[in-house]
Structure 1
Amino acid sequence: MPGEEVWLVGERRSTGEQKYYVSNLPSDTSLKILAATIKARWICEQAHQQLKEELGLDRFEGRSWTGLHRHALMTMIAYAFLQSRRLKAAGRK
């Protein structure tokens, strides 16, 4: 990023906590899209946590790169299936 223009976004929460984010989105990006992109990070973190807790993404003890990829792939397939069932049960899809 040296030499490139970046966004520095600050957030002050109602609890008084302050957070800062750096983004390399284009300079003509609207603030609405910038904020949505920052908030999407939380969704990714939540999904990663569910993958570890509910489906065992972090329980791989193999020794090969191929084995890790297969384990991650099967975990993601299971997660996609469960999410589709959750959305269907909630009437969203």
Structure 2
Amino acid sequence: MYSRFVALRIRPVGRGIRRATDEVELPERRLLAEWPDDESEPVRFWLSSLPSGMPPATLVRPAKLRRRIEHDYREMKQALGLAHFEGRTYQGWHHHVTLVSAAHAFCTLQRLARSPRDAAQA
């Protein structure tokens, strides 16, 4: 998946924000916007408090990590049985979640070992 991104330095404003802080001037933030090639305008936005010297690629990685997390959760739930626990004890639930997590880690390592080129992008 490829997309275009722009990172702009901004200073958030607004009455609600001013009331929530005692500062006279709010600190600068970075606005990250994603603008896919097939769209007429940017479609996703993130506000970052990372230091201003960070390159845009460093801002994009955690912003897009959400998609990977959602995929992993769906895989753990559907393919590995995370949602199939029917016990009544915390110890049983903990055991179940631990085994599902270990199975997911094993599957991820196997997938990454098969395709080293894809591992660099993951």
Which of structures 1 and 2 has the bigger CA Rg?
2
Deviations 1:55-79 (CA, angstroms, capped at 9, x unpaired) = 0112233344443332221111011
Q: Which whole-Å CA distance do the structure 2 matches of 1:19 and 1:64 have between them?
A: 41
Tell me the distance in 1 between the aligned counterparts of 2:62 and 2:52.
14
Between the aligned residues of both structures, percent identity stands at: 29
| Aligned pairs for 1:40-59 within 5 A | 40-59=65-84
Give distance in 2, aligned partners of 1:8 and 1:61. 44
Please report how far the alpha carbon of residue 37 of structure 1 lies from its aligned counterpart in structure 2 after TM superposition: 2.0
Distance apart, 1:91 and its partner CA: 4.8
- How many aligned residue pairs are there? 91
Q: Does 1:25 align with 2:50?
A: yes
5+ residue gaps, structure 2, are 1-19
Residues 18 and 70 (structure 1), Cα distance of their counterparts in 2 relative to 1, 3 Å cut: same
**One-letter amino acid of the counterpart of residue 33, structure 2:** G
- How much has 1:26 moved relative to structure 2? 2.5
**More helix by percentage:** 1
Counterpart selection for 1:36 from 35, 50, 61: 61
58-67 vs 42-51, which moves further: 58-67
1:70 and 2:95 are equivalent in the alignment: yes
For residues 3-36 of structure 1, the C-alpha deviation after alignment (integer angstroms, 9 at most, x for no partner) is: 5744332212234271122333233322110012
Q: 1:65 to 1:14 in 2, by over 3 A?
A: farther
